[in-house]
Amino acid sequence: MSPDPDLEAFCAFYNKLDKSCTKNLYKIYTPDVSFADPLHHIDGLPALEAYFATLYENVTACRFVFHDHQRQGDTAFVTWTMHLAHRRLDGGREITVEGASRLLFAGDDTGRVREHRDYFDAGALLYERVPLLGTAIRWLKRRAGG
């Protein structure tokens, strides 16, 4: 499979993303972008910039390892592992979460994304990191065989 320059640029951007880069989201997203993950749904670039700025306030480190990717037409999928250290999660220790993104490119030769949907286990990222609640969720997962 030959490299896809738009998808490669997207992955490279995410590996540089931090609180100082959120104003550069326009380079990979259209003004009317729709972004969704298990915790949020955001419409429009200004709202996405605000979301990332708030999110990255307490992030001390974040990097992605990208794995499989596939693109057909304007639709692409990429799997990844996120390594995140956040002051308010798990005592600031690094958290590792597996996930995937579905991207819909604008189709206008700009290489920008107009729809971005992330799929990951929100419990592994957030809920299991909260005292008491995390203990209960881990207990439930063990009981369910997960």
Torsion sign over Cα 31, 24, 70, 94? negative
* Residues contacting residue 79 through CB under 8 Å, at least 6 positions apart: 66, 67, 68, 69, 98, 99, 100
pLDDT average, residue stretch 45-61: 89
Q: What is the pTM of this model?
A: 0.82
pLDDT average, residue stretch 94-102: 92
Structure confidence at residue 111 (pLDDT):
94
Chosen CATH of 5-120 out of 3.40.1160.10, 1.10.540.10, 3.30.70.360, 3.10.450.50? 3.10.450.50
pLDDT average, residue stretch 23-45: 95
- Retrieve residue 25's tokens: 């989201």
